[in-house]
Amino acid sequence: MKLFVATAEEMQRLDRYVMQDLGILPEILMERAGGSVAKAILERFPLPGYFKVLLLCGPGNNGGDGFVCARYLWNSGYQVEVLLFNEEDKYTGEAKRNLEILKTLKIPITRIHSLEEFISFVHHFKPEILVDALFGTGLKRPLSGLYEEVILFLREEKRKESFKIVSVDIPSGVSSDTGQILGSAPCADLTVTFECLKPGHLFYPGKEYSGEVEVAEIGYPWRFLLEFTKDIVPRKKYLSEDQARELFRPRRGFYHKGKAGYVFILAGSVGKSGAGYLTALGALRAGAGLVTLAGPKSLQSVYSGLLPEILTLGLPEREGEITENSSNLVIEALKGKRCLVIGPGFGLGSGPERVLLDLLQNVSLPVILDADALTILSDFPEKLKDFSYPKVITPHPGEAARLLKKETREILQDPLDSLSQLINLTGAIVVLKGPHTLIGGPDGEVFISSIDEPGMAQGGMGDVLTGIIGAFIAQGYSPFEASALAVYVHGASGSFLRKTSGPYGFTASEVANYIPQILKKLETRNA
């Protein structure tokens, strides 16, 4: 099953449709949600190793899920205590009914009025598991008052005590849509969410507070939703190995280098020659049939010596960068090529700028823009909308900030909104690099990478990714599919190196060289 990533508004829309249009009762969904949290606790923190469970239940449906969880755990033999932080008459609907069931079963319930009362209860009860069912994905404003005091105490107490924290849907205080912290939030060991991942589970700092995340199915009829109500289904997909396998097309039958496609790369300058080399290496390792690397004439012998499998094109240069009169040479050389990659180590002088603008105005094939090309375009990024051919831009947060005239921290505070703004500004497919890289297109489709590898925070990694995207476009993938598949393959190669070489210290060229093994894995499982 495809795994979707849904904002709070998208989840509310899904919930309404499932309950009101399809007639699945909210009581059923709450029963399955709370039961799934209890099941996850039973599996990870089983009796008799864990016995005492304290459930913190908030005022809405998140609290109602906590009531159901408490009943299941109590029935399984745990010693259960439920804490309320508001009056019982605040509960309505299925949450109220599940609270009444707890009272009928005589499961202990305590109303907490102050921080001192809460601290005394925790120290007396000494829980081994604490269930955070205070607030879910609907939280929009920072925690305050008693709720904030309780969370701050728990964060401090967890440093001294060994109890586990399990959050229902999302840790209370984490913004479901951005991962930003709304006041304060507990550091969960496990978060059990329902039907869809939330952006706050994936984006920092929320990811650090979520711990292990389990997505529980509670009864959404996805087969029906995907077939008949696509406007209800979230447009953001989680780019896992399963999703990458769906994108990947194994080679079949008669194949030759022409069929595998021709990538033209315009990259590198004196002092930044490695960027051109790594881009070409990424393209070759991802299966491009032919690769031409164009750049300053003085670098051609360097490139030929490093990578004899590529073709090279030496261009006129001045002070280590190509000159303005390189444009016609490149345009002529682009005949028969399937995509143009431009930007890694390209240079920022008047020559590279003039050539970039000339190419954008005179080519008709897909263009991938990275690094220095994006820096040049940051003065007029909206010009990209003037060109009808497919465009892919691959900014990291700093480059995205320059394009949007923002601070880098603003990009990181809301990556999905930043992605949307970049798409609207440029009309391009955008690969916003970083932890859980985002890939989005003008049609609204978005992939969020499942991979977050800190060991890939090293120069040259983005150059390799750009080359991989070019290779997949040359092989016939749509630019959006090529970008998504490239992001997965690139990240998966880094994940393998982390497991086999160490947490960091592996290089961009090593990531490129392992790509065929990742492709083999995808092909084997597609067979």
* Residue 506, Ramachandran bin (φ over 0: left; ψ between -120 and 50: alpha; else beta): beta
Q: How far is 422 from 425, CA to CA, in rounded Å?
A: 5
Q: Is 132 annotated as a binding residue?
A: yes
**256 labelled binding-site residue:** no
Q: Is 61 annotated as a binding residue?
A: yes
Q: Is 437 annotated as a binding residue?
A: yes
Nearest to 428 by CA among 415, 412, 439: 439
| Alpha-carbon span 387 to 390, nearest angstrom | 8
Residue 436 assigned to a binding site = yes
Q: Do the bridges between strand 438-440 and strand 190-194 make them parallel or antiparallel, or are there none, so unpaired? A: unpaired
Distance CA(247)–CA(331), nearest Å, equals 32
140 labelled as ligand-binding? yes
Residue 37 CB-density burial (10 A; 0-12 exposed, 13-18 middle, 19+ buried): buried
Q: Is 139 annotated as a binding residue?
A: yes
Q: Is 507 annotated in some ligand binding site?
A: no
Nearest-5° Cα angle at 136, 132 to 139: 125
The annotation status of 396 as a binding-site residue, yes or no, is yes
Helices and strands counted in the chain (H then E): 21, 19
Tell whether 434 is in a known binding site: yes
Q: Is the omega angle on the peptide bond into residue 205 within 30 degrees of 0, that is, cis?
A: yes
Dihedral sign computed on CA atoms, order 428, 494, 7, 484: positive
Q: 169 labelled as ligand-binding?
A: yes
What Cα–Cα distance (Å) separates residue 505 from each residue in 65, 78, 509? 44, 46, 12
345 is in an annotated binding site: yes
Residue 249 annotated as part of some ligand binding site: no
Residue 142 annotated in ligand binding: yes
By the 8 A CB rule, do 431 and 394 touch?
A: yes
CA proximity to 168, closest of 9, 76, 60, 28:
60
Question: Is 137 flagged in the annotation as binding?
Answer: yes
Name the residue type at position 524: T
Strand, coil or helix: 311:
strand
On whether 463 is known to bind a ligand per the annotation, the reply is: yes
Phi, psi of 214 (to 5 degrees): -115, 130
383 has binding-site annotation: no
Tokens of 147: 């709720």
Q: How many CB atoms lie within 10 A of CB 351?
A: 25
Annotation-wise, does 62 bind a ligand?
A: yes
| Cα distances (angstroms) measured from residue 35 to each of 42, 68, 164 | 10, 6, 18
- Which two three-digit tokens encode residue 410? 């603003």
Q: Within a 10 A sphere around the Cβ of 520, how many other Cβ atoms?
A: 10
Q: Is 189 annotated among the ligand-binding residues? A: no
Rg over CA atoms, the chain: 27
Q: How far is CA 435 from the centre of its chain?
A: 7
Q: Which residues are annotated as a binding site for (6S)-NADPHX?
A: 61-65, 136-142, 147, 169, 275, 345, 396, 463
Q: Which residues are annotated as a binding site for AMP?
A: 433-437, 462
Q: Which residues are annotated as a binding site?
A: 61-65, 132, 136-142, 147, 169, 172, 275, 345, 396, 433-437, 462-463
Q: Which residues are annotated as a binding site for K(+)?
A: 62, 132, 172
